Amino acid sequence: MPPSSPQFSLRRRDPATQSEGVVPGYAQTASRWPAEPLVRRPQTRSELTAPQNLSRRLPTLRGDLAGQGAKRALGQLIHLRARVVDEDGAPVPGAVVEVWHCNAAGKYIHPNDTNDAPADPNFYGAARLVAGDSGLIELRTIKPGAYPVPDTGGWWRPPHIHFSVWGRVWLSRLVTQMFFPGEPLNETDYILNAIRDPAARNRCIAHLAPTDKGPANALVYDYQLVVRGAGATPVLR
Amino acid sequence: MKLAPTGEMTLGPFFPREFAQGANDLTMVEGKRAPGEVIEVSGRITQLDGRPLDNVVLEIWQADSRGRFNAPDFFGWGRAATDVEGVYRFRTIKPGAYDARLAHINFLLLYSGLMRQLQTVMFFELGADPVLDGVPAARRERLVARKSAGGWRFDIRLRGEGETPFFDD
């Protein structure tokens, strides 16, 4: 087995800060999460490599979802600043980040969304960004609305933004959701609250930046996306 | 280590189609055919009651035909989504074995109802392999694709009878 780079390390998931399994209230989890225990495996070259220059395959798409003038999307204008870092807090430059969210009325652009809420002709809720040297991605967009989850007896999703992030190795892949501060629905969301550790849960909520510093017409939200792994990138082929 | 990784959460049902499409053919790199044997890998994804699942997102990561990762003439990453019949499809190059590892393709699954990513591995045959060896012997066969006229078939059962083994790291 090839030795991994001595500096690079990847800890196992902490069940207090990571959710998995069957979640009461979220019925589909009981049909889809495996019943058998997950199998632990050694980390080999296969799991500790990842595509280099993924942005060649997945290029930047739409750095601005809010639009301008007559083409402005409806809703509260926000400016999102998210940093991609590893477990050491070191930035991950070049990280590809996909972002998607519903419009201000709670409607996704997806054909499978049956929610009876209007589409916004000026809003297309999907963007792909590539982190700069400081690991930062920035997106001008509108704040998504809340929406009911069908056939769940009253579960409403709080406003949230989906992220799909590539870290340094195959095992660093991060798909998650970012929430907004002060939303009452945060307290009852089955997905956010499946993270048991309150501090870890709190880190999934963005911070509102001081409103006297940023752009005059947008609320600025800061966020951090921490991908698995720490230490020097393994150079394995 | 100073920070805990951000909590993973479900992909949800509305992953943009645009993201899921257009990345399931790994055979071409910048207009050139990657060296090696072209194969099709396909399968059906089902849940507990056997129902096939629409719009499951799968990502794969694999070595090239000579067992190398990130070789300049092959890009070993791809993505696909299942159709309404629950079927996904990749066109790729058959990976080579290397060191102690049998030829294999890493799979990552993302879907509504999965609180986080699931990882599994497709093999082409049974044999000695440090990852396959960790799977209970009676379940190893579930990780071996079947060869058919149309290529290699690798069905994935998320939960229930004949459940696919998944890995934790």
Identify whether A14 is part of a domain: no
CATH number reported for the structural domain that contains residue B88 in this entry: 2.60.130.10
Longest dimension (CA), chain A: 59
CB pair distance less than 8 Å for B77 and A57: yes
The closest of A13, A55, A77, A80 to A165, measured between CA atoms, is A55
Active site residue A223: no
- Evaluate whether residue A139 is within a structural domain: yes
Contacts of B146 (CB under 8 A, 6+ apart): B152, B153, B154
Please confirm, yes or no, whether A207 is among the known catalytic residues: no
In angstroms, the CA B73 to CA B92 distance is: 13
Domain tally for chain A? 1
How far is it, in rounded angstroms, from Cα A23 to Cα A19? Answer: 9
User: Given an 8 Å threshold on Cβ–Cβ distance, is A200 in contact with B48?
Assistant: no
**Residue A99 sits at the chain B interface (C-beta within 8 Å):** no
pLDDT tens for A122-161 read 999 999 999 999 999 999 999 999 999 998 989 999 999 9
Q: What is the pLDDT of residue A91?
A: 96
- Is residue A11 a part of any domain in this protein? no
Instruction: Enter the DSSP assignment of A77.
Output: E
CATH number at residue A188: 2.60.130.10
User: Residue A116, CB half-sphere, CA atoms under 13 Å: how many?
Assistant: 1
Residue B11 lies in a domain: no
Q: B123 in a domain, yes or no? A: yes
Could you tell me if residue B5 is inside a domain? no
Of the residues A20, A32, A62, the best mutation for testing chain B's interface (the one with the most B CB atoms within 10 Å of its CB) is A32
**pLDDT, position A104:** 98
Among chain A residues, CA nearest to B28:
A57
Is residue B88 included in any domain, yes or no?
yes
Between A63 and A226, the more confident residue is A226
In a domain, B6, yes or no: no
For residue A11, give the DSSP letter. P
Nearest residue of A to residue B1 by CA position? Answer: A88
The answer to whether B163 contacts A47, with C-beta atoms less than 8 Å apart, is no
Residue A13 lies in a domain: no
Do the Cβ atoms of B117 and A173 come within 8 Å? yes
Query: What is the rounded average pLDDT for all residues in chain B?
Result: 96
The mean predicted confidence, pLDDT, of chain A is 93
Q: Is residue B141 part of a domain?
A: yes
Distance CA A35, CA A180 (A): 33
More confident residue, A10 or B113: B113
Q: What is the residue range of A210's domain?
A: 29-226
In which domain, by residue range, is B109 found? Answer: 17-157
A10 in any annotated domain? no
What confidence category does residue A115 fall into, taking pLDDT thresholds of 50, 70 and 90? very high
At A6, the pLDDT band (50, 70, 90 cuts) reads very low
- Domain count for chain B, please give it: 1
Closest by CA to B5, choosing from A97, A45, A204, A38, is A204
Q: Examine the pLDDT at A180 and tell me if it is beyond 50.
A: yes
Q: How, if at all, do strands B151-153 and B38-46 pair?
A: parallel
